[in-house]
Chains A and B, each alone.
Chain A
Amino acid sequence: MDSALLIHRLQFAFTVTYHYLFPQLTMGLAPLIVVLKSLAIWKNDDRYAKAARFWAKIFGINFVLGVVTGIPMEFQFGTNWSHFSKYAGGVIGQTLAMEGVFAFFLESAFLGLFLYGEKRLSKWMHWFSAMMVFVGSWLSGYFIIATDAWMQHPVAYERTADGSVTLTSFWGLLLNPWAIWQYLHNMSGAALTGAFVMMSVGAFYLLSKKHFEQAKIFLKVGVVSGLLFAILLIGPTGDGQGRNLATHQPATLAAMEALFETQPGAPLVIIGQPDVAARKIDNPIVVPKMLSFLTYRRWNAEVKGLDAFPESEWPQNIPLLYFSYHIMVGLGTIFMAEMVIAAFLLWRKRLFESRWMLWALLLSFPFPYIANTAGWITAEVGRQPYLVYGLLRTTEGFSKTVSGGNAMFTLIGFMGMYVVLSVLFLFLIRRELEHGPEGAELAPVKVKHAVEYAEVTK
C-alpha cells in the first residue's frame, strides 16, 4: 500500500475513533437526562433534579471534548481526502451542511441555556432546553449516519461529465434504507453506553456507601433503559443491519463471518481464528445452519462465501474485520444477559443489596465503548476496498498533493493533543464523581438582568 495513503487512513481512523468516545455518551445521556428532568417535575422531587444536574455536568465535559475532537472530522474530508470530497461533496455535503445548520446550532444554543440557565428559566423552559439538546444531538447523529450510509450504499446520485457524482433526490439521500437500520442500531448502542455509565456510577456510590438517594435513581433509570436498548440492539436493529449487508455488501458479510466457501445451510462461527491464506477457520466452534437462517430466514438457504467474489473485491483486512465484528456481537450477548439479571433483581427489590451485581455493573462501563468502537470498525473496514461502495476506491480518494511526511506530522500532532485532552478529561470527571450529585446545586446566575428576566417570562 502507498505509505501516504496508509498514514491518511491511520489519521482518520485515529481521530474518528477517539472522537466517538464522547458523542456516544452525550447522545446516550441526553434522553436519560430528559427522563430525570421529567421525573423531577412529575414527582416534584428535588432528588431527581439533583440527579439531572449531576449528569448535566458530566454531559457538559463530554460535550466540550466531543466538539473539539469533532471539528477535525469535517476539516479532514477536505484536507486528507480531497479527491473523495471533490467526487462526492455534491451529495454528502448536503447532509454534512445540514448537520451544521440544523443540529449544531440547536444543540449549542440550548445547551448554554440548559447548563447555565436553570435559575433564569421556568421549569418547563428548562425541561424544554434539555429536550432540545436531546433532539439536537440525535439529529446530529442522523446526519452523520446518513452520510456514512451513503458511502456504504450509494443512492440518489448520478455521474457527471467530470467523473464525480451529484445528487438527484434529496429524500432519497435522507431516507436511504441503509441509513434507517444503521441509525437505529447505532443510537441503541449510544444509549446503551449512557445507561451503563449511569449504572456504573450508581453502583460505585452504593458500594462506597454515599449518595444513596441518587445512586438508586441512577440504577433504576439505568437498568430499565439498559434492558430496553440491549434488546433493541440485538433484536430488530442488529438483525436489520445484518440483512442490509446480505443484500448490498455480500462480500463484507462473508468476510465478517469468515465464510470462505459458498454453501447452503451455512454455519455461524462463534469462536475461531480465520486463516485467510489457507481459507479456513482454526479451532472453530460453530452453530450449524444458523448463518443461513439469520440471513435469509431459511435453514438451508445458500449464503455466498468469499470464493464468490474476486480477491480484489475482498475487504483488505479480514482478520480485523472478523474480530471486531465478533467482539461486538459477543459483548452484545453479554449485555443482554447482564441486563436481564439486573432487571430481575431490580424487580424483586434485591438489586441494591446484591454486592456482586453492583460490582459487575460498576466494572461493565468500558464494554459498551468497546462494542461501539468495534461496531464502527466493522462498518468501516467492511466497506473496504471502497470509500464509496462499488464506486470509488480508497486508493483514489486521498489527497495526493499531501505527502506522507506532512500527514505523519499532523498525525503525531493529533496524538499529542489527544493525550493532553485525555488527561484533562479524566481529571475533571474524577472531580465531578468525587463531588457527587448531592453537591449539585444550581448553576450561578451570570447576568444581573437575569432575575428580572425570569420574573417577566414566568
Chain B
Amino acid sequence: MPTLWFCIVAVMIAAYVVLDGFDLGAGIIHLFIGKTEDDRKRIIRSIGPVWDGNEVWLLAAGGTLYFAFPQLYASSFSGFYLPLMMVLWLLMLRAIGIEFRAHIGEPVWKSFFDGIFALSSILLAIFFGAALGNVIRGVPLAPDHYFFLPLFTNWRVGPQPGILDWYTVMSGVVALVTLAVHGANYIALKTEDELNLRARRVGLILWPVLLVLTLVSLFATISIRPEWLANYKAMPVGYAIPAIVFGSLAFMLYSYKRGNDRNAFLASSAYITLMLVGAVFALYPNVLPASTGAQFNLTIANSVTSAYGLKIGLAWFAVGITLTIAYFVFIYRMFRGKVSLEGGEHGY
C-alpha cells in the first residue's frame, strides 16, 4: 500500500509537469516567437482556459503528498524554505501575467505583463529542474529527519551542498530546454500560419541541445550517485526507461520532419514522463536521500502515514481522480482545435 501511494504521488507530479509544463513552456518561448500582438494573444489564448486547471495538479499532488507522507512533506518543505517561497512568488506573478494582461488595453501594459509572464515561466522551469536535481543528489538530512539548505555554498556537490551547485543548475537548464520544446510543440499544435512555423522551428533548433543535455545529465547523475544504478541492475527491465526516453526523442525528430505537430507533442510528453519515471525508479524505495549518509535517507517506510489513512484515502481518491479526468477530457474537447483571434475585448 505505501508503494502504491508512492506511485500515485509520482503520477500526480508527472501529470503536473506534462500539463503545466506546456503552459510554462509557452511562457518560456512566448517573447521569442510572439512577434506581434496577434501572435502573443494567440499564445495566451491557447493556454488561457486550461492553465489554471493544470496548475491544480500541483496543489493536488502537494495535498496527497501531505497526507500520505507527512514526514517527507514536513522535512522537504521546511528544508527547501527559500526556493519554495520564491516559487510561490513566481507562481503569483505568472498568474497575474496571464490573467490580467487582457484587462488593460494599453500596449505598454500588455508588454509589461508579457515580460512578467515570460520571466516567471523561465525562472519556474529552472527552479523545478533544480528541485528535482536536489532530490536526486540528496540533502543533508540530520538524524531527526530535518535539514535546512542555503541557496548556494561553493557550487560543489558534497555532503553539505547548497540548493544550487553545478549538478542542480544543470538540472535546471535541462528542465528549461525540455519545457521550452514541450511548449513549442503545444503552440505548434494550437496555431496556424507563421506562428505555427516559428514554433516548429524552435523545436527543431532545440532538439539537438536537448539530446546533448539528456546524455550529459545521464552521465552526471551516474557519476555523482553511482548507487542509483542498483535498481536497474536488480531489475534489468528498468533499462527500458532510458531506451524509451531516447526513442521518444527520435520520434520527436521524425515528427518534425513529417510536420506532424500532434505526434511531436506526444513525443515531448512521453519524454518528460519517462525522465521522471527513470528518476523515481532509481530512487525507490527512498523518497528523499541524504547526502550525509544512507542511514539518514527518508524512505517510503519511515515517512508514510498509517495503513488506515492510506486505505481510506485510496477510496476517495479513486472517485475524485475519475471525476477529474472526466472534467479534463471535457474541457480539452471543448477548447480543441486551433486558436483564433475572433472575439471582442474581453477574455484573454
Contacts and interface: CB of A to CB of B under 8 A. Distances in A.
A447 B233 CA distance: 50
B7 interface: no
A402 B60 contact: no
B346 interface: yes
A104 B12 CA distance: 14
B186 to A, nearest CB: 15
Nearest to A167: B309
A78 B63 contact: no
B344 A444 contact: yes
Contacts of B218: none
20 contacts: A79-B78, A79-B80, A80-B78, A82-B77, A86-B71, A89-B66, A96-B63, A96-B67, A97-B67, A100-B56, A100-B62, A105-B320, A113-B334, A164-B70, A167-B306, A167-B308, A443-B346, A446-B340, A448-B337, A449-B336
B154 interface: no
Interface in B54-104: 56, 59-60, 62-64, 66-68, 70-71, 73-82, 84-85, 88-89, 91-92, 95-96, 99-100, 103-104
A434 interface: no
A90 B103 contact: no
A71 B62 CA distance: 10
Contacts of A403: 148
Contacts of A285: none
B66 A166 contact: no
Given A86-B70, A447-B337, A105 B60 contact: yes
B228 interface: no
B296 to A, nearest CB: 14
A113 B327 CA distance: 11
Query: Which A-B residue pairs are the 5 nearest by beta carbons?
Result: A444-B343, A93-B67, A78-B77, A89-B70, A97-B63
| Majority-rule SS of B interface residues | helix
A64 to B, nearest CB: 5
B84 A401 contact: no
A406 interface: yes
Nearest to B190: A447
Nearest to A446: B45
B60 A100 contact: yes
B343 A443 contact: yes
B262 interface: no
A120 interface: yes
A75 B77 contact: yes
A99 B66 CA distance: 12
Interface stretch (B155-163, B169-177, B311-319): B311-319
Nearest to B149: A401
B306 A116 contact: no
Contacts of B334: 113, 117, 120, 450, 453
B48 to A, nearest CB: 7
B103 A94 contact: no
Given A68-B96, A104-B56, A168-B308, A79 B77 contact: yes
Given A399-B81, A417-B92, A449-B337, A102 B53 contact: no
A433 B141 CA distance: 53
A364 interface: no
B96 A100 contact: no
A290 interface: no
B74 A85 contact: yes
A410 B104 CA distance: 30
A399 B338 contact: no
B208 interface: no
Given A78-B73, A78-B77, A89-B74, A111 B52 contact: yes
Contact of B313 (A57, A75, A89, A97): A97
Contacts of B99: 60, 64
Nearest to B192: A448
A401 B84 CA distance: 15
Contacts of B84: 75, 79
A284 interface: no
A296 B330 CA distance: 53
A424 B100 contact: yes
B148 to A, nearest CB: 4
Given A68-B96, A446-B48, A447-B339, A97 B66 contact: yes
B234 interface: no
B348 interface: yes
A437 B48 CA distance: 24
B77 A446 contact: no
Interface in A326-359: none
A428 interface: yes
A93 B323 contact: no
A105 B63 contact: no
Interface string B136-162: 000000000011100000000000000
A286 interface: no
B336 A447 contact: yes
Contacts of B335: 112, 446-447, 450
B134 to A, nearest CB: 15
Nearest to A93: B67
Nearest to B305: A90
B78 A78 contact: yes
B50 interface: yes
Contacts of A270: none
Contacts of A75: 62, 77, 84-85, 88
B111 interface: no
B91 to A, nearest CB: 6
Interface in A224-267: none
B66 A79 contact: no
B56 A89 contact: no
Nearest to A102: B320
B67 A67 contact: no
A399 B313 contact: no
A57 to B, nearest CB: 8
Contacts of B340: 446-448
B346 A109 contact: no
A97 B66 CA distance: 7
A90 B70 contact: yes
A444 B342 contact: yes
A104 B96 contact: no
A67 to B, nearest CB: 7
A101 interface: yes
B327 A105 contact: yes
B321 interface: yes
Interface in A399-413: 399-403, 406, 409-410, 413
Contact of A86 (B74, B82, B327): B74
A371 interface: no
Contacts of B100: 64, 424, 428
A445 interface: yes
Interface in B268-319: 305-306, 308-309, 312-313, 316-317
B347 interface: yes
B250 to A, nearest CB: 32
